[in-house]
């Protein structure tokens, strides 16, 4: 007999509750039972990865496991939450022991770094799809949201932008001029994004608004602007990109395209009120946080990019959106 | 332009928080923020429905919406929890406004009956799949689980069993002898199951173990037996089935097959310690709860069915399992 769903759950996904004293009941019942620590609220997010849509079909299963959780952890980072647990809804076309083992390895590799418990899930037959729900803790009402940016706030992003989109492009369009080392570096950004959990937590009480960049800087900063009811001016020269991106993509306009519209980077974009900027930037230097100031929130609506000549050009707050096709 | 995921979320799935004062932040940010009421724990469950696996491809979208939530509510019922919120991870192959509207109607029809808020989700492109995560409240440590059944406990089920499996059979194998009324009655059981929320809540402090019947009585009672480390004897004549099932399926062995092994009924199976049985059964009469005593928990392992002649036959604790195929 092929192993059934209960064998799969037992073999690959059942582990003793290791990390959290807040989990009262875990995998193996109709629901998990959780206790919220006194003085805390719970943050809840869900993200789905579908084969062929969110990752190329031939992606290594351990990378799929890692990334499925990473994109959810990134939502916790964007809220300034401390992740605590997750559930896994896994649809599989067939049972492939080697695939499942590698997937679970990648998943728990990342889970263990953040001391997360898998507290439940559902294993079903269907086209390959991974839907993870994550929960974490924030001190009462002390969370980051997309609202709250004010004119005059400085805009920051963590890390570098556009690498993941570039990696995806290299998969579909081979480029023999690219060195193996550079190719691996950007592919790592696509397949094994590092959620900015510690930075997100540190931003609580400092940032006025925060979002993680999953659809591209223009689109995700656009969400902050829409939620906060304001506009923004970005400085072209301040946009951070990696040495690999500059080497692989030498044409400036295409570099900019990746940086502004490329999704899947899972960096944070956030705003800091001007009166906190000096202290925050000092803290960044002390803690060696990889953040770049890229512009300023404005009263004037819209998203504007200021070039080296000081000329501002309006850019569309768009990025990857499921279903959108230009008819 | 085809509407994008953000249009879909705005048009069909964004509603003001109507019901719960515990939801601090809802749809439209990177995560929802929830406050647990003082003295309560949170129950969390997730269930996925895949097209062609969990429902026939031509199922009405409003029924799919209803059922996607109903199967999750049933998990809350099995825990004795009061459902409070849910998230929706929806994968769609294309954007079909009529489908989405009907799906949302069925979903919110049921959500409103239990005053549930949709607090977040993810809308992606992919084969049709609905993954709902549900959360609810239980008083601290006052929940029902699969463990806790003891020898001598009486075993009960709610409602009638086997109707949903019979409806599925009628879809694949037409039977002209079946009246339209009977066909509709059992199809309603398949497409619009009624989660036993109120009964589940009433069982807290009474039942020693509880599970909802999604994979079939034999399989799900089998989970209680495995978790509680005991066996059970069921009485053949006590197994409750509907008038429709008796009319449509006249062969006794096939009736039994549906009742024991048919999934998707979403009734509750639970055990009550002998010293509480008299009070509980009085309560059932007063409240007109539709429950049937079907057997007893035993020290002897295994699941046994006692026929009218008093002869016990061992039955396999099996039911529908994803992936299991007999090679």
Q: What is the pLDDT of residues B228-264, one digit of tens each?
A: 999 999 999 999 999 999 999 888 888 999 999 998 9
Tell me the chain B residues in contact with residue A41 when contact means C-beta distances shorter than 8 Å: 24, 33-36
Alpha-carbon distance A233 to nearest alpha carbon in chain B (angstroms): 22
Q: How does pLDDT run across B127-163, given as a tens digit for each residue?
A: 999 999 999 999 998 999 999 999 999 999 999 999 9
Q: Most B CBs within 10 Å: which of A323, A325, A327, as the mutation test of the B interface?
A: A323
> A125 with A161, same domain?
no
> A98 with A175, same domain?
no
Which of the pair, A10 or A130, is modelled with greater confidence?
A: A130
> A171 with A215, same domain?
yes
Q: Is A75 part of a structural domain of the chain?
A: yes
pLDDT at residue B1, as a whole number: 47
Alpha-carbon distance A327 to nearest alpha carbon in chain B (angstroms): 5
CATH code of residue B77: 3.30.1330.10
Q: Do A126 and B3 count as a contact with CB atoms less than 8 A apart?
A: no
Tell me the chain A residues in contact with residue B30 when contact means C-beta distances shorter than 8 Å: 45, 75, 78-79, 145-146, 210-212
A-contacting residues of B 196-215, CB under 8 Å? 210-212
Q: Which H or E element spans position A165?
A: helix A163-172
Q: Say if residues A186 and B70 touch (Cβ distance below 8 Å).
A: no
Which of B104, B139, B174 is at the close of a domain?
Answer: B139
Q: Which H or E element spans position A135?
A: strand A129-139
What 3 state SS string does chain B have?
Answer: CCCCHHHHHHHHHCCCCCCCCCEEECCCCCCEEECCCCCEEEEEEEEEEEECCCECCCCCHHHHHHHHHHHHHHHHHHHCCEEEEEEEEEEECCCCHHHHHHHHHHHHHHHHHCCCEEEEEEEEECCCEEEEEEEEEEECCCCCCCCCCCCCCEEEEECCCCHHHHHHHHHHCCCCCCCHHHHHHHHHHHHCCCCCHHHHHHHCCCCCEEEECCCCHHHHHHHHHHHHCCEEEEEHHHCCCCHHHHHHCCCHHHHHHHHHHCCCCCCEEEEECHHHHHHHHHHHHHHCCCEEEEEEEECCCCEEEECCCCCEEEECCCCCCCCCCCC
Cα separation, B121 vs B180, in Å, equals 38
Q: Is B322 part of a structural domain of the chain?
A: no
Give chain B's residues under pLDDT 50.
1, 325-327
Cα separation, B59 vs B62, in Å, equals 8
Tell me the chain A residues in contact with residue B24 when contact means C-beta distances shorter than 8 Å: 41, 141
Alpha-carbon distance A88 to nearest alpha carbon in chain B (angstroms): 8
Tell me the chain A residues in contact with residue B268 when contact means C-beta distances shorter than 8 Å: none
Cα separation, A305 vs A215, in Å, equals 18
Strand-strand pairing, B231-235 and B291-298: antiparallel
Alpha-carbon distance B105 to nearest alpha carbon in chain A (angstroms): 22
Q: In chain A, what percentage of residues exceed pLDDT 70?
A: 94
> B298 with B164, same domain?
yes
Q: What's the mean pLDDT in A167-194?
A: 89
Q: What's the mean pLDDT in A225-243?
A: 95
Q: Is A9 part of a structural domain of the chain?
A: yes
Which of A108, A139, A170 is at the close of a domain?
Answer: A139
Choose the weakest-confidence range: A18-32, A313-327, B225-239: A313-327
pLDDT at residue A69, as a whole number: 97
> B27 with B135, same domain?
yes
Q: Do A91 and B24 count as a contact with CB atoms less than 8 A apart?
A: no
Using CB atoms within 10 Å of the CB of residue B179, give its burial: 0 to 12 exposed, 13 to 18 middle, 19+ buried: exposed
> B135 with B159, same domain?
no
Q: What's the mean pLDDT in A151-160?
A: 97
Q: Which of A32, A46, A136 shows the shortest C-beta gap to B122?
A: A46
pLDDT at residue A56, as a whole number: 84
Q: Which of A34, A48, A227 shows the shortest C-beta gap to B44?
A: A34
* Residue B178: count of CB within 10 angstroms of its CB: 16
Work out the mean pLDDT of chain A and round it to a whole number. 89
Q: Say if residues B127 and B50 touch (Cβ distance below 8 Å).
A: yes
Which of the pair, A252 or B156, is modelled with greater confidence?
A: B156
List the structure tokens of A126.
């269907």
Tell me the chain A residues in contact with residue B325 when contact means C-beta distances shorter than 8 Å: 1-2
- The pTM of the full predicted model, rounded to 2 decimals, is 0.89
Q: How does pLDDT run across A253-282, given as a tens digit for each residue?
A: 889 999 999 989 999 999 999 999 999 999
pLDDT at residue A239, as a whole number: 96
pLDDT at residue B102, as a whole number: 95
List the structure tokens of A258.
């990746």
- The conformational region for residue B9 under phi > 0 = left, psi -120 to 50 = alpha, else beta, is alpha
List the structure tokens of B311.
């002869």
Alpha-carbon distance B311 to nearest alpha carbon in chain A (angstroms): 31
By C-alpha distance, the chain B residue nearest A78 is: B30
Q: Is B148 part of a structural domain of the chain?
A: no
pLDDT at residue B327, as a whole number: 37
> A160 with A89, same domain?
no
Which of the pair, A325 or B43, is modelled with greater confidence?
A: B43
> A159 with A296, same domain?
yes
Q: Do A46 and B94 count as a contact with CB atoms less than 8 A apart?
A: no
Q: Is A122 on the interface with B (CB under 8 A)?
A: yes
Q: Is the pLDDT of residue A244 over 90?
A: yes
> B307 with B161, same domain?
yes
ipTM of the complex: 0.84
Tell me which residue has tokens 């950007």.
A186
Cα separation, B230 vs B148, in Å, equals 10
Q: Is B325 part of a structural domain of the chain?
A: no
List the domain range (segments joined by +) for residue B224: 154-315
Q: Is A327 part of a structural domain of the chain?
A: no
> A101 with A174, same domain?
no
Which of B106, B139, B172 is at the close of a domain?
Answer: B139
Cα separation, A200 vs A31, in Å, equals 29
Cα separation, B89 vs A63, in Å, equals 21
Q: Most B CBs within 10 Å: which of A5, A17, A30, as the mutation test of the B interface?
A: A30
Q: Is B99 part of a structural domain of the chain?
A: yes
Q: In chain A, what percentage of residues exceed pLDDT 90?
A: 67
CATH code of residue A207: 3.90.650.10
> B63 with B110, same domain?
yes
Q: Is A243 on the interface with B (CB under 8 A)?
A: no
Comparing CA positions, the residue from A261, A65, A36 lying closest to residue B44 is: A36
List the structure tokens of A113.
């770094």
pLDDT at residue A171, as a whole number: 85
Q: Say if residues A7 and A104 touch (Cβ distance below 8 Å).
A: no
CB pairs under 8 A between A and B: 240
> A127 with A158, same domain?
no
Q: Is B145 part of a structural domain of the chain?
A: no
Per the structure, the count of domains in chain A is 2
pLDDT at residue A55, as a whole number: 85
Q: Say if residues A307 and A251 touch (Cβ distance below 8 Å).
A: no
């Amino acid at each position: 007999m092929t192993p059934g769903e209960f064998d799969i759950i037992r073999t690959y996904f059942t582990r003793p509750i290791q990390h959290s004293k807040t989990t009262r009941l875990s995998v193996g019942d109709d629901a998990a039972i959780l206790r919220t620590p006194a003085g805390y609220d719970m943050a809840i997010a869900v993200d789905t990865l579908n084969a062929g849509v969110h990752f190329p079909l031939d992606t290594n299963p351990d990378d799929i496991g890692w990334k499925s959780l990473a994109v959810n952890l990134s939502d916790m980072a964007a809220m300034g939450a401390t992740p605590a647990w997750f559930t896994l809804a896994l649809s599989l076309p067939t049972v492939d022991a080697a695939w499942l083992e590698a997937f679970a390895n990648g998943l728990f590799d990342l889970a263990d770094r953040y001391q997360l418990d898998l507290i439940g899930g559902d294993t079903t037959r269907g086209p390959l799809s991974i839907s993870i729900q994550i929960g974490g803790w924030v001190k009462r009402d002390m969370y980051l949201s997309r609202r709250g940016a004010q004119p005059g706030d400085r805009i920051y992003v963590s890390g570098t932008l556009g690498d993941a989109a570039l990696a995806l492009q290299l998969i579909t369009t081979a480029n023999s001029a690219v060195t193996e080392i550079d190719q691996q570096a950007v592919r790592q950004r696509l397949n094994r994004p590092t959620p900015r959990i510690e930075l997100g937590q540190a931003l609580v009480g400092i940032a006025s608004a925060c979002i993680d960049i999953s659809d591209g800087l223009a689109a995700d900063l656009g969400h902050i602007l829409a939620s906060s009811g304001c506009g923004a001016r970005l400085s072209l020269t301040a946009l951070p990109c990696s040495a690999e991106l500059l080497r692989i993509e030498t044409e400036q306009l295409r570099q900019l395209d990746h940086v502004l519209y490329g999704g899947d980077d899972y960096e944070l974009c956030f705003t800091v009120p001007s009166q906190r900027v000096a202290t925050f930037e000092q803290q960044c230097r002390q803690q060696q946080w990889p953040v770049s100031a890229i512009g300023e929130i404005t009263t004037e609506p819209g998203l504007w990019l200021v070039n080296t000549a000081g000329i501002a050009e309006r850019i569309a707050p768009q990025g990857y959106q499921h279903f959108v096709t230009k008819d």
